[in-house]
Structure 1
């Protein structure tokens, strides 16, 4: 005989609720045919669990019920809490509480360790508690989850799925979907589980939702907008690869595309992804705002620079309130944008027409001497192409770089050679411009005279 009593359960499932006293009941049966057995019940966490009557006497072959109560919040730990059942044969007349306490106070062979019953917290509320409590980071969450999830119905599973998608909890989302949560559920406002997952910023959670056969509704879903708000370039890639009919230029209630959202937040990687896939950088919202207007108002330098390179005319677009991108930058004191939105154009025009005074004024106001236009041309490219010697000299004196290349890989020297301006070309060479570049090979029809007089043309590949 290795035990005197037998429990009717192998595990004790305690349905946790936030609003009611939590308890779980089980039974112990006396296995002795002729003798009474005393039992004492304890737990591995007595500060959180208790029995109203932890000491009891079971008559021969009798079955008695015991109820375990939870004192406070779930005492979740790395290992499950347990109920400890010890027993001992009790003599007639020795069944009062004092004698029973004395009986179990002395260890020995008369004490049987009859059972160790794991305590499992189950039900919707325990999972909701895990999702919202920092304690979940310090316990074996997967164990608690696997036990508790079995006691949830489909509605509870789906409710938990929405909560876990919102927090980006991959373990919960995966487990809940496998257990039968409705991945295509939408709330009364039509908000989907997918939208919640995207806003969490967790691309792995989004993948799980996609792979669980989520059905997109293009009439209401604006998932690229959601992804843009969380700088989710990877999420966008997953969405575009999974839903090939997704509209890269779809608009929300304000008439804004995902490109507007990314521009407003300055998320350059998202902007690059969207434009690469065909998003229109010239599109305007209900108030006539382009993505460039949004980026300019917020002062996002990299975003403004990228959007300018994506469209030739967007710089001059005017909102319904009559404001350009530069006007919005001025209003919000974003001085870093003045050059690329306004001064650069003025500088380039002055270089083109050889307006030396205009160049000096523009540079004094903060224009960047090496700023490029949408074709990659600097002011030096323009002055060289037009043969403006005075402008070239002035720009060089203000730090213009002779080695900068445009979108075709050409330097200012190439452009001077292309246009046949020998004086400018020689001036650039004197300032360190190399003659062994692309355009000089392609356009050797340019007449400098004999190569003996111009040694920098002897070997264009040197």
Structure 2
């Protein structure tokens, strides 16, 4: 097993397997040879073990699968992710002990290309929540992973209004964290600026609490101005709609 993670070449691993080495054997932490190969970033070992019957979905004592480990590898290791995802039996939405899927982990580490590979799989659930109620989008926002946020927002299936256990949407998290660039992206995608958290705070409340303590890739407006602008626009639109409806009703009554 250790040979798979410490740089042994393909031939040595083959000899050990042919001699009766059990590819599914686990250590005290629940790691198999495949887990070791992924942790060691040994692509040939990963491919060999998979071809010899290693369970691609085997979980450690912490419920981590090989795909979990490959997804949060640093630096990013897309070759390993691809090798694992080629397996027809691979589960792309397994949850570890914290409820994190491989996509959650990729978003946490800012592994943009890994997240892209996962999102490209037909079986991916981009809205699955972890034990804190966070979706992958929540996690990317909390970690200030701007590019990953943009990638997720380009997915039609991503739900912007899921609330976590703090009753916060990704937009509320972005405002609370003071990230104007991410906030602008979420608003442009249609996020609800009037959502409230468990304390009754909406985006404007959270922006006022931060004052102008924010950071952004684009700083054309202060956070408070940006949030206020969109809330006012929403209010005006509602008022206009109400006025139009009232006028239509009056006209209809007069005509009758």
Query: TM-score of the superposition, structure 2-length normalised?
Result: 0.69
User: Can you give the 5+ residue segments of structure 2 that lack an aligned partner in the other structure?
Assistant: 235-256
Query: Does residue 123 of structure 2 align to residue 248 of structure 1?
Result: no
Residue 345 and residue 325 in structure 1: after superposition, are their counterparts in 2 closer, same or farther (change >3 A)?
closer
CA distance in 2, matches of 1:325, 1:169: 46
2:68 maps to which residue? Answer: 195
Query: TM-score of the superposition, structure 1-length normalised?
Result: 0.41
Query: Is the Cα contact below 8 Å between 2:212 and 2:223 reproduced in 1?
Result: no
Q: Output aligned runs, 1:345-384, within 5 Å.
A: none
Residue 178 and residue 308 in structure 1: after superposition, are their counterparts in 2 closer, same or farther (change >3 A)?
same
Query: Is the Cα contact below 8 Å between 2:214 and 2:223 reproduced in 1?
Result: no
In structure 1, the residue corresponding to 2:72 is in which secondary structure? helix
Q: Output aligned runs, 1:119-138, within 5 Å.
A: 124-128=1-5, 130=6, 136=7
Match of 2:163 among 272, 277, 284: 284
1:147: Cα distance to partner? 4.8
Query: Does residue 224 of structure 2 align to residue 342 of structure 1?
Result: yes
Query: Does residue 140 of structure 2 align to residue 259 of structure 1?
Result: no
CA distance in 2, matches of 1:174, 1:345: 50
1:209 maps to which residue? Answer: 84
1:149: Cα distance to partner? 5.1
CA distance in 2, matches of 1:312, 1:233: 22
Residue 173 and residue 300 in structure 1: after superposition, are their counterparts in 2 closer, same or farther (change >3 A)?
farther
Residue 301 and residue 258 in structure 1: after superposition, are their counterparts in 2 closer, same or farther (change >3 A)?
same
CA distance in 2, matches of 1:198, 1:344: 35
Match of 2:118 among 225, 231, 239: 239
- By percentage of residues, which structure has more helix? 2
1:155 maps to which residue? Answer: 24
1:209: Cα distance to partner? 1.0
CA distance in 2, matches of 1:225, 1:125: 28
Query: Is the Cα contact below 8 Å between 1:260 and 1:290 reproduced in 2?
Result: yes
1:227 maps to which residue? Answer: 106
- The CA RMSD measured in Å over matched residues stands at 3.4
Q: How many residues align?
A: 218
Match of 1:307 among 182, 186, 204: 186
CA distance in 2, matches of 1:298, 1:222: 23
Residue deviations 1:240-289 (CA, integer Å, cap 9, x gap)? 333x2432222222222111011111222222222221212232212211
Query: Is the Cα contact below 8 Å between 2:163 and 2:169 reproduced in 1?
Result: yes
